[in-house]
Amino acid sequence: MSDTSYTPPKVWTWEQQSGGRFASINRPISGATHDKELPAGKHPFQLYSLATPNGVKVTVMFEELLAKGHEGAEYDAWLINIGEGDQFGSGFVDINPNSKIPALLDRSGDTPVRVFESGSILVHLAEKFGEFLPASGPARTEVMNWLFWQMGSAPYLGGGFGHFYAYAPEKWQYPIDRFAMETKRQLDVLDRQLAEHDFIAGKDYTIADIAIWPWYGQLVLGRLYDAAEFLDVESYKNVMRWAKAIDARPAVSRGRMVNRAFGELHTQLRERHDASDFDTRTQDKLEAGDS
């Protein structure tokens, strides 16, 4: 099939078999496909997620809050396997009608509060604990500028470049060129900003960094789409410096492991219910115990 062989019909219809790797994940309707209650643990926060870049934002945020001594930020993290359709269970849809991870239930108050969309979760937690987001003024606005930049930009990286470069059933030059160009433009935006600032929004580490790093930081570190060489990421020296600095934070290392169900077994903590789980319940230890 060539780039020019497709003529759109007058009315589009869904052909599930054309969806490639994501045929079982994406569909043109919303709502639950089956009844399934979500598990719940003992902590104030119940997180339902997977360690995609959007999921990593939230687990990094929780681990950073705990590292700062906020005991009230303890959380249970439950694995949502999107490849098996867990996000379409009735319990998950009750928390996030958009059926996307991450989704959070905040039980720290009198009435449970559902929070969905990763950016909303970051702001919710930042305001609740008074961390990683200035309370007011121009500094807060600058953080929010970059948080919303990420929310608007990352679909071009993930759903655009990542999909056509790494996941689409066939490799087509036009969409790969289109989204590679946009991804490199976004990296240049970040590189210019980081040429003058230690962190994305200024001198302090904020939710802007926590939101942007799982996408663009991990991209330049070679962890997304096997595309580092293709995108010449080494040329973005300021982004690389920033990405490595954040990668070295212990809370970030822990956050990357939570709800991870792929990669080397010692990096997978599929569920997290206590800080000790990082030492005792990674997948390599669980599977060794079964043998």
Contact 80, 148 (CB under 8 A): no
Q: Return the pLDDT at 222.
A: 98
Q: Does position 3 have pLDDT exceeding 70, yes or no?
A: no
| Structure confidence by residue, pLDDT tens digits, 202-223 | 999 999 999 999 999 999 999 9
Residue predicted with more confidence, 262 or 21: 262
Closest CA to 135 of 39, 143, 266, 97: 143
- Percentage, residues of the chain above pLDDT 90: 91
Q: Does position 151 have pLDDT exceeding 60, yes or no?
A: yes
Arithmetic mean of pLDDT, 192-200: 98
Q: Return the pLDDT at 290.
A: 75
Q: Return the pLDDT at 27.
A: 84
Q: Return the pLDDT at 166.
A: 97
Q: What is the model's pTM?
A: 0.95
Q: Return the pLDDT at 184.
A: 98
Q: Does position 74 have pLDDT exceeding 70, yes or no?
A: yes
66/243 Cα distance (integer angstroms): 22
| Structure confidence by residue, pLDDT tens digits, 27-48 | 899 999 999 999 999 999 999 9
Q: Angle formed by the axes of helices 237-247 and 173-194, to 10°? A: 80
- Percentage, residues of the chain above pLDDT 70: 96
| Structure confidence by residue, pLDDT tens digits, 221-235 | 999 999 999 999 999
Q: Return the pLDDT at 25.
A: 77
- The span from the first CA to the last CA of the chain, in angstroms, equals 48
Task: Give residues with Cβ within 8 angstroms of 17, minimum separation 6.
Answer: 23
Arithmetic mean of pLDDT, 89-106: 98
Q: What is the DSSP string of the chain?
A: --TT-----SS----GGGGGGGTTT--S--S-SB--PPP--SSSEEEEE-SSHHHHHHHHHHHHHHHTT-GGG-EEEEE--GGGTGGGBHHHHHH-TT--S-EEEE-SSSS-EEEESHHHHHHHHHHHHT-SS-SSHHHHHHHHHHHHHHHHHHHIIIIIIIIIIIISSS--HHHHHHHHHHHHHHHHHHHHHHTS-SBTTBSS--HHHHHHIIIIIHHHTT-STT-TTTTTGGG-HHHHHHHHHHHT-HHHHHHHHBT--SS-GGG-BS-BSSTTHHHH-SHHHHHHHH-
Contact 186, 157 (CB under 8 A): yes
Closest CA to 82 of 39, 33, 124: 33
| Structure confidence by residue, pLDDT tens digits, 117-142 | 999 999 999 999 999 999 999 999 99
Q: Return the pLDDT at 22.
A: 62
Arithmetic mean of pLDDT, 95-119: 97
Q: Does position 19 have pLDDT exceeding 60, yes or no?
A: no
Is the Cα torsion angle 248, 252, 254, 260 positive or negative in sign? negative
Q: Return the pLDDT at 15.
A: 79
Q: Return the pLDDT at 17.
A: 62
Arithmetic mean of pLDDT, 242-256: 98
Q: Return the pLDDT at 1.
A: 43
Residue predicted with more confidence, 207 or 23: 207
Q: Return the pLDDT at 78.
A: 98
Beta-bridged to residue 21, according to DSSP, are none
Arithmetic mean of pLDDT, 97-122: 97
Q: Return the pLDDT at 218.
A: 98
